[in-house]
Amino acid sequence: MGAESQEWQEFSRAIRKWREQRQMTQRQLGELISWAYSMVSRWESGGQRPPVEAIEAMDAALGAEGKLISLGFHAAMADSNRLRKGTVEAKASKRDEDEDMERRRLMRDAATVAFGGAVAPVLATLTDAWQTYGPRISGASVSQEMIDDWEDAADAHNERSYYDPPAVVLAALAVDYADLAPHLNRAQPEAVERDLAHAAARYSALIAGAWYDLGNKREAWRWWKRTRTLADASQDIAQASVLRSWEAAIRRYDGDDVLPLLQEARRLAGERPSLTLFSALRVEAQVLAMKGRLSEAIIALNQAESVLERLPAQTPGVIRPDWYSRSLVYTLAGDDRQAGEAQDAARAAYDSGHIMSAVVELHRAATQARTDPEQGVQYALRTLGGLSAERRDSHSLSAARLTLATLPEKAHALPAVRELRALTANRSA
């Protein structure tokens, strides 16, 4: 099938752009990724769409840091959206049947990007077979088992987001979200509408975060708007607050003023000690520290820790204390002792594959850079070097930029500093 759509044309142009920026011929690129150069030529001209393994190989070989993967995924999803619209318009009398067909197609496309074409039809078939089992809720298009499964899957996607490359996370999310989404537009009992919105809001937030990590802020913004709408529709005030805090935590690196969003999160959380209030306060501390309002940041951090101390000991999902926030705030405040203690504790709290392990080590590099620029910058370069190109997402790159921010002025001419600055250059779409 030719890559004739606008999205696939953009993908083809991107291959050529990245290759030419690397001063590489089509033959050289083909040799690097173990594909014939004639295939590279077809992919660049739009004559053929590359398989997922070729997209991943080109992304790594060209140092695109997930950009090519993101464009390929976006093109596949756009194809599915066009197919859905065309099918519904052409066969309005078979609406339910067509929606089911489109859902399976969308799942196959998303799974193809994530896992390769061979397994995708199997995944779609297995999911369809599973959903035929179990009674539907009266007046609803879903069963309680399906809703519970989507919620459980959201937990799993959230956990894997700390370990897997953003493109893999996004494709896996798309499979489940495409399965859930058609039910949002169907008439449901009020309680089922709330439950579906609750699950969908969690997926939407994770999708927004994955797009952001891939450098596509435009897509991330669209999904964050949807997240807030869905969270409010769920009528779960705690979730509406937590998801706003989570959005602010990610967007703080853009320089956006997310404090109004956090004020809304705190209003929704209320005054009583809760994990929801703790989340809003800890992110507020991080945002204030990033803005250079360090005394206010420490006050917010102390308030967050006070809330944490009053929560039941077995509250799930909480690391006591919040070593990450301590590390960030005290690194930026120049308190090397407290920053170092937090970084040592975080090293023990996170396993080596967890992205936050690398992020906190980048805080350590920033702390070192303040007094020993060469050592700090080299530590940051080694830490980033320990991550695959696909795992160097916006979160880790932003943490690495803290090292540049803490350097004394005279250190900016160091060759290692130029290398780190190039490695952490902004990505956006």
Distance in angstroms (rounded) separating the CA atoms of residues 158 and 362: 22
Whether the ω angle into residue 166 lies within 30 degrees of 0, i.e. cis, is no
Q: Which of 318, 346, 371 is the last residue of a domain?
A: 318
User: Do 127 and 229 belong together in one domain?
Assistant: yes
What pLDDT was estimated at residue 177?
86
Q: What sign does the dihedral 19-21-22-23 (CA atoms) show?
A: positive
Q: Which residue has the tokens 């959903």?
A: 131
User: Do 199 and 106 belong together in one domain?
Assistant: yes
From the list 206, 195, 174, the residue with the least C-alpha distance to 79 is 174
User: Do 215 and 271 belong together in one domain?
Assistant: no
Q: Element (H or E) spanning 208, and its range?
A: helix 190-213
User: Do 369 and 399 belong together in one domain?
Assistant: yes
What pLDDT was estimated at residue 217?
85
* pLDDT of the chain, 429 residues: tens digit per residue: 444 678 888 889 999 999 999 999 999 998 888 888 888 888 898 877 787 778 878 888 898 877 787 777 777 666 555 544 444 344 444 445 454 444 444 444 544 444 444 444 444 444 554 455 556 788 888 888 889 989 998 998 898 888 888 877 887 788 788 888 889 988 999 999 999 999 999 999 999 998 888 888 888 899 999 999 999 999 999 999 999 999 999 988 776 789 999 999 999 999 999 989 999 999 999 999 999 999 999 999 999 999 988 887 666 655 567 899 999 999 999 999 999 999 999 988 888 888 999 999 999 999 999 999 999 999 999 999 888 877 888 888 889 999 998 898 888 888 999 999 888 875 544
Whether residue 55 is contained in a domain is answered as no
Rounded to 5°, the CA angle 370-374-376 comes to 50
Neighbours of 145 (CB within 10 A): 15
Q: Which of 219, 235, 251 is the last residue of a domain?
A: 235
What pLDDT was estimated at residue 294?
95
Amino acid at 48: Q
**Whether 329 contacts 297, CB under 8 Å:** yes
Q: Which of 235, 257, 274 is the last residue of a domain?
A: 235
Q: Element (H or E) spanning 269, and its range?
A: helix 259-269
DSSP secondary-structure letter at 411?
G
Domain around 243: 237-318
Amino acid at 128: D
What pLDDT was estimated at residue 17?
92
Whether residue 48 is contained in a domain is answered as no
Which three-class secondary structure string do you get for 330-360? HHHHCCHHHHHHHHHHHHHHCCCCCHHHHHH
Enumerate long-range contacts of 26-32, CB under 8 Å, 24 or more apart. Answer: 29/58, 29/61, 29/62, 32/57, 32/61
Distance in angstroms (rounded) separating the CA atoms of residues 372 and 192: 58
pTM over 0.85: no
Torsion of CA 332, 338, 339, 341, to 10 degrees: -170
Whether residue 377 is contained in a domain is answered as yes
User: Do 360 and 406 belong together in one domain?
Assistant: yes
* Domain count for the chain: 3
User: Do 230 and 123 belong together in one domain?
Assistant: yes
User: Do 179 and 241 belong together in one domain?
Assistant: no
User: Do 353 and 283 belong together in one domain?
Assistant: no
User: Do 294 and 230 belong together in one domain?
Assistant: no
